[in-house]
Amino acid sequence: MESPAQKHTHAFQAEVKQILHLVTHSLYSNKEIFLRELVSNASDACDKLRFEALDNAALFEDAPNLEVRVSYDKDARTLTISDNGIGMSADEAVQHLGTIAKSGTREFMAALEGDKKKDANLIGQFGVGFYSGFIVADRITVESRRAGLPAGQGVRWSSEGTGEFEVETIERAQRGTDVILHLREGEDEWLAPWKLRSIIGKYSDHISLPILMRKQQWDEEKKEQVLTDEWETVNKAAALWTRPKSEVTDAQYQEFYKQLSYDSEPPLAYTHNRVEGRTEYTQLLYVPAKAPFDLWNRDKRGGVKLYVKRVFIMDDAEALMPVYLRFVKGVIDSADLPLNVSRELLQESRDVKAIREGSTKKVLSMLEDVAENDKDKYAAFWKEFGAVLKEGLGEDFQNQERLAKLLRFASTHADEGVSFADYVGRMKEGQEAIYYITADTLAAAKGSPQLEVFRKKGIEVLLLTDRVDEWMLSHLYEFDGKPLTSVAKGAVDLGKLQDEEEKKAAEAAAEAFKPTLEKLKAALKDRAKDVRTTTRLVDSPACIVVDEGDMSAHLARLLKQAGQGAPRSMPILEVNAGHALVKRLETGEHFDDLAHILFDQALLAEGGQLEDPAAYVRRVNALLAG
Ligand code: ADP
Ligand code: MG
């Protein structure tokens, strides 16, 4: 008995239209994924019901056993996925099946363009799983009733997956949702029970709800298998993480990861533990092999799902993992938290704090293990996630030392993969500090004049070019008792590394240069805080350094790019008194031009920009013209 309510036609949101077009026209491989998506939506709907019912047990009505049923009708050529979960009201059906909540269309299209196989696997990643039904169906009908609403407020949603969909109110006694796929021409393979069972086994074994299909029976007269009225469970229905480690194969861990992350690549590493003691919980945590497209979005929802005694609670539990480990995916199942734990409660709970600390430590040991036992794998990890891990140096003081050991750098000795331990192992006799330079690019760092004396003496310098490096360095001062020292800050002090003769020669040269130095200071008094002679230069005439405690030029540039005007203090100009160009100053000819050119060139060499390039050109030309 249908209510007299009218059918309403709605247009899909523009983004949905685009997605539907892509789905039906370009996804040819891995079509079977649609079943995984629809089963996972059914399972999500059951999780949501269970969660809402924590506060309102009446929502269970008289059917507390949550389940998913998959059935088909050969004559009608339909395949139906049913659940008795939360269901949808008419408004929700319009909203959830007609628009895309996360606006991932652009990323989806970009991913699809880059994907040669046009793999349907992509679809779940972008929160558009429902529409995958249209890969095999030319009409989808959804019949649903939201838990708690009367039978008269069921809804039927229907669409051919083109521009629009229809919605009408129906009478529906059954709580939950039926998704009915009217199969396209040529898509009859989805009407074969063995096929459906094998896909469910492949993708949905770990769904913790039973997935039911009708039992078959041999019919002597018809000489074929026929469906009976009896239903049987076709998945294992045991949450993978609750099984003992020894009973789970590597392939199962990998498959679970795929479902959890929608990542097409296998994970880099995983760890599965049951933690006992004051707080009891199970953790199954994965480090992906590839960074997601939104890695830099620090606000995105976390990859770790929280369960309490196998009941799904939430999947954006930032409280469970520090921000700098936002790439970790997995499941944490607590035995202690109350089932109705709220987001606010999560932030304050001591148990959650213990879980977070324990899980952080586990991830770090997993990474340490990879770093120690598989250098190539760790290098691959570092390339994808190293810059994110660096955020941890300032965010997680408790683990700062462990994190510092996990850092990898480029240096004057190797373009990548240098750890602090490697560096310390190569330190020269008498060397007390770990030297580094920050720059915008590796080329700029390598070409920096400040490195010259270090090169000459064979002292290694770390080359830091990530945006986050400056920030990291404002929290990390030393490693293994050795101070981290910028080669571009303050006067160079090679301490015991400088040999006596060199020192004396430098002092003599500086003494001789003194009168010229005073003139130079006067000529550049509006641009340089100080001018002094240096021993750090070998081939270059001059370089810019900043005073101890002043902001580095690189950081000042980063802040400027970020739109934050930073008060930049005047730099110090250091000159190489032995350089021919500097010696020319002593003649007094074109003194002013030469002084400014030295300063401008030093600025350019460290990656800076000239405030008045035209003046620079004018001075150079004046000099060239003699
Ligand atoms: P996602 O699952 O990532 O949210 P989908 O495209 O798979 O994206 O589903 C869109 C939305 O439609 C879901 O978030 C949910 O609100 C709703 N939905 C889909 N299937 C069901 C179902 N079986 N029961 C209740 N709601 C559903
Ligand atoms: Mg979904």
Check which CATH number belongs to the domain holding 612 and give it: 1.20.120.790
- 3 pLDDT higher than 60: no
Do 143 and 115 share a structural domain? yes
Whether residues 253 and 134 fall in one domain: no
Neighbours of 132 (CB within 10 A): 26
Q: What is the mean pLDDT of residues 265-277?
A: 94
Q: What is the rounded average pLDDT for all residues in the chain? A: 88
Question: Buried (b) or exposed (e) across 80-98, using 16+ Cβ within 10 A?
Answer: bbbbbbbbbbbeebbebbb
For the residues 461-482, what does the mean pLDDT come to? 93
Residues 487, 345 within the same domain: no
pLDDT of residue 301: 61
Residue 552 lies in a domain: yes
pLDDT of residue 498: 74
We report the CATH number of the domain holding residue 425 as 3.40.50.11260
Cβ of 582: how many Cβ atoms within 10 Å?
23
563 by Cβ neighbours in 10 Å (0-12 / 13-18 / 19+) ranks as exposed
| Residue 3 included in any domain | no
Are residues 377 and 311 located together in one domain of the fold? yes
Whose CA is closest to atom 12 on ligand 1? 96
The answer on 479 and 334 residing in a single domain is no
**Which of ligand 1's atoms lies nearest the C-alpha of 124?**
3
| CA atoms of 316 and 303, how far apart (whole Å) | 7
Domain assignment present for residue 2? The answer is no
Query: Which domain covers residue 356, as residue numbers?
Result: 240-381
* 26: CATH: 3.30.565.10
Q: Which helix (H) or strand (E) covers residue 478, if one does? A: strand 478-479
Whether ligand 1 lies within 6 angstroms of the CB of 37 is answered as yes
Q: Which of 442, 461, 494 is the last residue of a domain?
A: 494
- Identify the pLDDT of residue 594: 94
> Does ligand 1 have an atom closer than 6 angstroms to the CB of 45?
yes
CA-CA-CA-CA torsion sign (12, 14, 15, 18):
positive
Residues 418 and 488 in one domain: yes
Of residues 199 and 101, the one with the higher pLDDT is: 199
With a pLDDT cut of 70, the percent of the chain lying above it is: 92
DSSP 344: H
pLDDT at 299: 67
Q: What angle do CA 317, 318, 324 make, to 5 degrees?
A: 145
300: pLDDT confidence band, cut at 50, 70 and 90? low
Reduce the DSSP state of residue 163 to 3 states and report it.
coil
Ligand 1 geometric centre to CA of 96 (Å)? 6
Does the pLDDT value for residue 281 go beyond 50?
Answer: yes
Residues in the chain: 626
Q: Kindly state whether residues 442 and 472 are assigned to the same domain.
A: yes
**Residues 253 and 268 placed together within one structural domain of the fold:** yes
- Position 391 in a domain: yes
Q: Which of 447, 467, 494 is at the close of a domain?
A: 494
**Same domain assignment for residues 563 and 542:** yes
Q: Round to whole Å and give the CA distance between 557 and 603.
A: 12
Please identify, among 233, 262, 288, the residue that sits at the C-terminal boundary of a domain: 233
401 and 376 both lie in a single domain:
no
Here the CATH number for the domain that contains residue 337 is 3.30.230.80
Nearest CA to ligand 1 atom 14: 96
**pTM here?**
0.69
Q: What is the mean pLDDT of residues 112-128?
A: 63
Question: Tell me: the pLDDT tens digits for 150-168?
Answer: 999 999 999 999 989 999 9
What pLDDT does 564 receive?
73
Contact by Cβ (8 Å): 606, 571: no
Same domain, 526 and 464: no
SS3 string of 85-106?
Answer: CCCCCHHHHHHHHHCCCCCCHH
399-403, 500-504, 600-604: the lowest-pLDDT one: 500-504
Q: Would the CB of 82 count as within 6 Å of ligand 1?
A: no
Highest mean pLDDT among 292-296, 567-571, 616-620: 616-620
d(Cα 544, Cα 609) in Å, to the nearest integer? Answer: 13
Q: Are residues 410 and 296 in the same domain?
A: no
Average pLDDT over residues 76-88: 97
Q: Which atom of ligand 1 is nearest to the CA of 127?
A: 3
CA 52-280-336 angle, 5° bins: 35
CB distance 177 to ligand 1 below 6 Å: yes
Quick one: pLDDT band at residue 318, thresholds 50, 70, 90?
confident
Q: How many domains does the chain have?
A: 4
Q: Is 20 in the pocket of ligand 1 (CB under 6 A)?
A: no
